[in-house]
Amino acid sequence: MASFNIYIAFGVLVIMISGAVMARDVDPIKAKNCETKMTLHCVNEVFTSIFKTGIVTDNCCIELIGLGQFCHYALIKKTLQNPLFKNNDTSVILSRAAQVWKKCTPVSEGVSPTPSP
């Protein structure tokens, strides 16, 4: 009977460990559905303003703030992991991302979710 309990304990341990490994491998960007919350036009606008030179329009600011700060920075960091962007200065890119977020925050706060009567 004692060996049966050991097998059960071992089985539970294996299940717990495999669950922990699977939970660790979950992509937070996909888990929070970050990739589908903005139009392609606005994604390009925000990307250009952070990685090159450009401005973000008010409409795209609203979409960016709707995306959420977690998703904004997670997507920037994931982009920086791409070998195509290995020559970019991470601190400059993160600073630009913060500037874009800071610029967009008041724009989105001025938008009422429902029309005023």
Query: How many structural domains compose the chain?
Result: 2
Residues 35, 31: Cα–Cα separation, whole Å: 10
Which residues of the chain are modeled with pLDDT < 50? Answer: 4-5, 9-14, 16, 18-22, 112-117
Q: What is the pLDDT of residue 36?
A: 80
Q: What is the pLDDT of residue 3?
A: 52
Q: pTM of this prediction?
A: 0.68
Domain containing residue 42: 32-109
Single-letter residue type at 54: G
Helix (H) or strand (E) holding 115: none
Do residues 64 and 88 share a domain?
Answer: yes
Q: Where are the alpha helices (DSSP H) in the chain?
A: 2-24, 28-31, 40-51, 58-67, 69-81, 90-109
Do residues 62 and 78 share a domain?
Answer: yes
Per-residue pLDDT tens over the stretch 73-106: 999 999 999 999 888 999 999 999 999 999 999 9
